[in-house]
């Protein structure tokens, strides 16, 4: 999704409400858009947060020039959520600072 949006030069921010449920965070977004929202809650055994949703959220936050918040999300990804790719997430965090 990220690559497609970058290729089409489309903003990430309008999609924040659609990915919020997968981040495990209470995300308040100014843009609700006309996106269809999931009507069924996620199954109780769904492991949250989902790393790809957090990565997308970090990119959307960067798009809003909130570098320190994006750096925190990348740090969370590397330290807690997706430790196997910790070096990759640390690179993303350092790029924000």
How many percent of the chain have pLDDT more than 90?
52
Enumerate the domain spans of the chain. Answer: 2-28+47-96
CA 7 to chain centre: 18
Give the residue with greater pLDDT, 33 vs 63: 63
Which structure tokens are listed for 13? 């921010």
The pLDDT assigned to 38 comes to 65
Closest C-alpha to 60, from 23, 9, 16: 16
- For 60, counting Cβ atoms within 10 Å of its Cβ (0-12 exposed, 13-18 middle, 19+ buried), the class is buried
| Predicted local distance difference test score (pLDDT) of residue 1 | 64
Token pair in block for residue 75:
């740090």
Q: How many CB atoms are closer than 10 A to CB 41?
A: 8
**pLDDT mean over 71-77:** 97
The 10s digit of each residue's pLDDT in 6-40 is 878 888 888 888 888 899 887 766 555 566 666 67
């Amino acid at each position: 999704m990220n690559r497609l949006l970058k290729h089409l030069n489309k903003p990430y921010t309008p999609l924040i409400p659609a990915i919020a449920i997968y981040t495990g965070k209470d995300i308040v977004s100014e843009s609700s858009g006309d996106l269809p929202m999931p009507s069924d809650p996620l199954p109780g055994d769904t492991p949250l947060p989902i790393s790809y949703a957090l990565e997308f959220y970090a990119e959307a936050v960067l798009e809003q020039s909130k570098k320190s918040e994006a750096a925190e999300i990348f740090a969370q990804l590397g330290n807690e959520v997706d430790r196997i790719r910790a070096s990759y997430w640390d690179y993303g965090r350092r790029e924000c600072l």
